[in-house]
Structure 1
């Protein structure tokens, strides 16, 4: 596979943090008394921006209310995940390899900027990314292709020259609709659940070098 750019989702890809986001959402759901379980989370929440999610949960929330809800939920997540946070298996070696081959690298995430800082800075990953697009920079969250279209544009590459690594079903659809080659990362979903969504599936980044022919 000849590529010029690689685009990573963050949650479930750069870090395998599905469990901690889910726990935070369950705490939040219990407090605000709305139905949530793992199936609902994986099918309807994973890969979406807070701006997409809170209008689904609350009736016509104001911008101020959505910010307050977002700050509360993300605070719960950070408290749970900070003590155990680490880069996904094989990621740093893979990023270093991409740099060696002068392949451009982008982050395309639905997460808010505070969550991006929370992950990239303590793990010293920011240095690897030529472009970072977060959830506040797009008008439509995944599965809309906007986030990956914007990543490609900022990298100065055509979508067909880029590979997207994604864990969520919404994200896989987003990358495909953008016109990129998509690789499923089996973290928030089992590999069999990604079958039919993409022909390329990995469990971690120790498998990625061979996949891209590097």
Structure 2
């Protein structure tokens, strides 16, 4: 049952709660090396944010079977988790924002395009992760971003109406998904420039410390008023 008075914040994972760019690069580079597939930082930057299949096929020097893609996927994500387990790269301000939202009565969720293992790793290491009451990974969603399914599923698990939710994202695909879901959208700069993000977001911030419960509550309320 959904509560019309309950508000929620749904976070993306990579680039919003965890600074995962370098760990993803290293895990791709390591698993490409054993396959003799060259990868440069320039190629990685160009492909970053695409699906694993698209990424792998772009880097491969020959056609890949379904079995090879699945084995590579599992190996790459395992290597990624090994890296962040050694030194968890939490985004500055993430734990503090989660705590303040929780104490202000917001429901909190995470909707990620990453596999369940990566999300569970986040929950193990993230400061104040106990405040998060619903998570969606690529393993649970029928469609990945920019489809709204991950955010809608997370809102459903939280028991919150989509129009009462704010999503925090760093990618265009994620912002498109949130907007299509009918949610307020906040963009965090980092992997994409402010000018591009502003086309898809209700608000753009440079750091999570620029956000607080009052600001987010006002954004949701204002957007709902505009739709009336």
TM-score (norm 1): 0.83
- Contact 1:185/1:203 (CA < 8 Å) preserved in 2? yes
- Gaps (5+ residues) in structure 2? 219-228
Please state if 1:110 is matched with 2:113.
yes
CA deviation after TM superposition for structure 1 residue 3, in Å: 7.1
> Residues 97-116 of structure 1, C-alpha deviation per residue, up to 9 Å, x if partnerless?
11111111111001111111
Matches within 5 A, 1:63-212: 64-209=67-212, 211-212=215-216
Task: Pick which of 98-107 and 123-132 moved more.
Answer: 123-132
Structure number with higher relative contact order (C-alpha < 8 Å, ≥ 6 residues apart)? 1
CA contact (8 A) 1:12 1:18 kept: yes
Q: What's the offset of the Cα at 1:203? A: 2.3
Deviation at 1:30, TM superposition (A): 4.5
Aligned length: 211
Please name the residue that 1:61 is paired with: 65
Distance 2:78 2:17 in 1: 20
Runs of 4+ in 1 over 6 A off after TM superposition: 55-58
Following the alignment from structure 2 to structure 1, what is the Cα–Cα distance between the partners of residues 153 and 46?
24
CA distance in 1 between counterparts of 2:20 and 2:120 reads 15
Distance 1:121 1:149, change over 3 A: same
Q: Which residue in the other structure is 2:49 paired with?
A: 46
Answer yes or no: is the 8 Å Cα contact 1:47–1:142 preserved in 2.
no
Q: Deviations over 1:145-166 (max 9, x none)?
A: 1101111111222211100001
Q: Which moved more, 1:133-142 or 1:151-160?
A: 151-160
Structure index of larger Rg: 2
Aligned pair in 2 of structure 1 residues 126, 65: CA closer, same or farther (>3 Å)? farther
The CA RMSD measured in Å over matched residues stands at 2.8
Higher mean C-alpha displacement, 156-165 vs 83-92: 83-92
- Verify: 1:19 aligned to 2:22, yes or no: yes
Asked if the contact 2:20/2:89 (under 8 Å) is kept, the reply is no
**Helix, strand or coil: the match of 1:164?**
strand
Structure 1, unpaired ranges of 5+:
none
